[in-house]
Chains A and B, each alone.
Chain A
């Protein structure tokens, strides 16, 4: 069973600690995406699982077996690199078979595996070409093919689609999803693109500056973020954050007043202990959680700067009376024509000053 378990994994480059104790439990056959901004340590984490980087602290187990001191080739993993890392002087066929040929795998078996990988990825007619003569998408397929022929228990992908144009990226995303279903292998996938993460993952690991911010299923992260960072990172356009202050409590929950707008008060039910009145908080509202005035919720007056029409929906870029930018999603038919409108906040999230979710 190809589970992958990281316990308190730490990575230091010299005195510089870049991963600060990561705990992740990946189930057999699961598709897990590491996502986070540039430099947060996604690649480092992946390369430690692959064995390309030493582990400075903690333990990594693959299939229940501790692999800290196991050679990369013996970990039962295969990796697809962002730059593809194809062998430039070999044909596609040779690229796929190189590893097997070098390790004395029987020729018939090698041929069978290469043929199967080529069929899965539909690159059979490219077998004689050199990487230089392939398009970006085709190179990507070959790189994935090279991983498939190894028949690994775990696939590792490091931003495999970031060199492709937008259209191809969507297409390859679907292919990788299909591949996951077809092979049923455990896959760990690194990206900084939250859309990719949301569409591909069974579970997402959100990283920031070497810390795991939250692990969860895509919609759980979207509907129920643990903190300000995850709330802002997941979803596009991102969640709006509006400064606010706690002014009291009533029977339904805690009462929050938006900064500089005495009349705009939101009542938010809280299960846990509420901070005392006067504490500063942040109210998060997703663009689609704004409604028209009177639809229920709290009304808010905003001034519209720009309207972006995307066809079915439109995005309104607006400012509150206090000067905070907000993005509002609307059906194209319901875009207001005046520059100042009253909207309602139908659903909101509350975060304390440190950025932790209040719920």
Chain B
């Protein structure tokens, strides 16, 4: 047995080596960098330097607030929307199912830069189709890019557009794995379609929903592209700056690697903490 394990490890060795050098080491290294003052040459070990700054940095708390706000509003709305889409996709009444499945999944495949450009156009103040539509139903134009609240809404709309279909496909796969005869039994039990959804589909889909939530939480914690490209580097005035953007600004604009590492670790720790709470809340009770 031990012999066979040794052989297996020898086969795994090349992968483990690369994994250690390019994954494990950077993770450890960046953790150590977060304890160093990196604006001086040479870098110097100063445990409180970056972490101390983090605790009192208004820019950090602004980014944290924005990130959590997006998390709390956008993720549940998106999952609910994805659920509705999945139910529709799963309906036997639907024609051309493949087409819809493709259409829902397509946003994920579209290049981030291209989609951001299209969103900027669609939401532009004077020429955007969105404001034209608002006008046509008698609503006033919205200046999406220069006020904080509409800008945040825009980010959430964009992220939702991009990822709702993706989650819908995952939920659909989960739905299709529930055996048909369970629903037939419920139908014979005189249980309405709506109750079947709430008492059978939702509970049986719980693991898949949790999976989607965890993926979305991790994704939103790292949110970068949309506020960078659509609202131009977290504009207006840092109103849509996320932790991912702050990290980028510190690491790559100011070359303050120590502080950027501290931000990165905070993001990861938050994502893990929220996910654990999530898993604990939805654990299998018995």
User: A: which residues have CB within 8 A of B?
Assistant: 50, 52, 72-73, 77-79, 81, 83, 85-89, 98-99, 102-103, 130, 146, 150
Q: How far is the CA of A73 from the CA of B192 in the complex (A)?
A: 10
**Nearest B residue (CB) for A50:** B188
**Nearest A residue (CB) for B178:** A88
Flag if B188 contacts A77 (CB, 8 Å).
yes
What residues of chain A lie closer than 8 Å to B282, measured between beta carbons?
none
Given contacts A83-B179, A146-B185, contact A102 B204 (CB under 8 A): no
Given contacts A81-B181, A102-B195, A130-B286, contact A87 B200 (CB under 8 A): yes
Binary flags per residue of B191-221, CB closer than 8 Å to A gives 1, else 0? 1100100011001100000000000000000
**Nearest A residue (CB) for B184:** A52
Task: State which of A78, A86, A87, A88 has its C-beta within 8 Å of the C-beta of B188.
Answer: A78
Number of interface residues of B (CB under 8 A): 18
**Nearest B residue (CB) for A88:** B204
Flag if A85 contacts B189 (CB, 8 Å).
no
What residues of chain A lie closer than 8 Å to B182, measured between beta carbons?
85-88
Best-surrounded residue of A52, A77, A83, A85 (most CB of chain B within 10 A): A85
Flag if A102 contacts B190 (CB, 8 Å).
yes
Q: How far is the CA of A78 from the CA of B184 in the complex (A)?
A: 11
CB-CB nearest 3 A-B residue pairs:
A99-B189, A73-B190, A85-B181
Flag if B195 contacts A72 (CB, 8 Å).
no
Flag if B286 contacts A103 (CB, 8 Å).
no
Q: How far is the CA of A153 from the CA of B190 in the complex (A)?
A: 15
**Nearest B residue (CB) for A89:** B203
Binary flags per residue of B259-286, CB closer than 8 Å to A gives 1, else 0? 0000000000000000000000000001
What residues of chain B lie closer than 8 Å to A73, measured between beta carbons?
187-190
Q: How far is the CA of A78 from the CA of B191 in the complex (A)?
A: 13
Flag if B286 contacts A99 (CB, 8 Å).
no
Q: Please name 17 further chain A to chain B contacts, defined as beta carbons within 8 Å, in addition to the given A85-B185, A98-B199, A103-B191, sorted by A numbering.
A: A50-B188, A52-B187, A73-B187, A73-B188, A77-B188, A79-B185, A81-B184, A81-B185, A83-B179, A83-B181, A85-B184, A98-B186, A99-B186, A102-B191, A103-B190, A146-B185, A150-B189
**Nearest A residue (CB) for B199:** A102
**Nearest A residue (CB) for B198:** A102
What residues of chain B lie closer than 8 Å to A81, measured between beta carbons?
181, 184-185
What residues of chain A lie closer than 8 Å to B192, measured between beta carbons?
102
Q: How far is the CA of A99 from the CA of B191 in the complex (A)?
A: 6
